[in-house]
Amino acid sequence: MVTVASRQLTLDRAAGFTWRALLVALGVVVVVLVLAELRILVIPAVVALLLTTIVKPPADALVRRRVPPAIAVAGVMVGYLALLVGIGVLLAPSVREQFAELGPTLTESRQEIEDWLVEGPLELSREDIDRYTQQILDQFRSGGSGLAEGVVAGATIVGEILAGLLLGYILLFFFVKDADRLTGFVVRQVRPEHHDLLRSIGRRVWQVIGGYIRGTAIVAFVDATIIGIGLALIGVPLVGPLMVLTFFGAFLPLVGAVAAGLVAVLVALVSGGVGDALLAAAVVVAVQQIEGDVLAPIVLGRAVRLHPVIVLAALTAGAVLGGIVGAFLAVPVAAVAVAVGSELRAHGIIGPEPISESPEGSARGG
């Protein structure tokens, strides 16, 4: 028999859970917004922290072999950089050869596009195409000041990217080399009785960050493989470079996937015309939709121990609130928040207190 006291107890628990969930959600939103505003500093630091999970293990292995820490860290970082350069060098000959083959087809592709505009569903005339082309050229000529402003803005963005890369590289070096000193400094800021808790939180956060990197790499590999197979079946050239571009683009939410897909469609358009471009676009869009709505939530959810629904909600909320930066930070921030909350709950710091019922209440409830 359910008593009034039991129903009140259930309502109290539901209310407590609701306000805690809202408080956590509000905290995640505030953190994402603040981090998005400080993106010039935050993004290099976050990227460096994420890359620490793949640089530190081999660097620690070298240190255990009595290699000085600074040399070990620098050697591993240079090794990873050399690996990226090596991939570029291996792909360069095929890219150069296939681009040379694409050159003679540019004029043919332009003619095919014009024929499709005339004979296709748009039913434009040659005069309309010439007029629109001339209007675009006139717009470029008359927009000299706007173009100059765009060039300045673009140069500013490039400068920020270069500065961010340099800052991130320096932060990565010190995050790996001085990890123990930085951890010790943080631990010393709390009372001794909380040291074990803080170390437990640090271990959980480290596991979450490493899982996020591994999960993203798995998603990127699957995307690049499926899109590469699709492009190869269509007959699009430069499949290898496009797969590499798709793989690295997956680490940058929204923009990376769109940019890689757009490049693939443009290559298909130049090499095979409108038909191949439409097929390539269908492959790219289908894979990206499956990846964004199914694959990424499942893989990242398992990697960072979050439910796929939470991952999908975090990605959507981050993109809406903080744009590209918000989408990039949403899942790691949510995963870290949940990991910290789990450790605090495991140590009895947060969470519902045990409720004991009086003997009279138990007797009445029976």
99-147 pLDDT, tens digit each: 666 655 555 666 666 666 666 666 566 676 677 666 666 665 555 445 4
Percent of the chain whose pLDDT exceeds 70:
71
pLDDT of residue 47: 84
Average pLDDT over residues 211-225: 87
- Quote the pLDDT of residue 61: 92
Cα–chain-centroid distance for residue 62? 30
Measure the CA–CA gap between 138 and 6, rounded to whole angstroms: 77
Return the closest-CA partner of residue 337 out of 293, 312, 305: 305
Q: Give the per-residue pLDDT at 115.
A: 66
Q: Output the six-digit token pair for 361.
A: 């209440």
C-alpha span between 91 and 241 (Å, rounded): 7
Q: What is the DSSP letter of 358?
A: P
pLDDT higher at 149 or 177: 177
Comparison of pLDDT for 82 and 19, the residue scoring more: 82
pLDDT of residue 328: 76
Mean pLDDT score across all residues of the chain: 76
Q: How would you label 53-70 residue by residue, b for 16+ Cβ within 10 Å and e otherwise? A: bebbebbbebbeeeeebe
Structure confidence at residue 101 (pLDDT): 61
C-alpha torsion sign, points 247, 319, 35, 191: negative
Helix axes 39-64, 308-346, angle to 10 degrees: 70
Rounded to 5°, angle at Cα 306 from 18 and 344: 60
Grouping H, G, I as helix, E, B as strand and the rest as coil, residue 306 is coil
- What's the start-to-end Cα distance of the chain, in Å? 7
pTM of the model: 0.67
Query: Which of 289, 204, 273, 205 is CA-nearest to residue 235?
Result: 273
Residue 36 pLDDT: 65
> Phi then psi for 253, rounded to 5 degrees?
-55, 150
Q: Decide if 176 contacts 55 (C-beta within 8 A).
A: yes
At 119 the pLDDT is: 64
Grade residue 152 by pLDDT with cuts at 50, 70 and 90.
low
Extents of the domains making up the chain: 26-99+108-350
Give the per-residue pLDDT at 364: 43
- 98 pLDDT more than 50: yes
Amino acid of residue 184:
G
Write the pLDDT tens digit of every residue in 41-84.
Answer: 877 888 888 889 889 999 999 999 989 999 999 999 999 999 98
Predicted pLDDT of residue 360? 46
Predicted pLDDT of residue 359:
46
**C-alpha to C-alpha distance for 188 and 127, rounded to whole angstroms:** 76
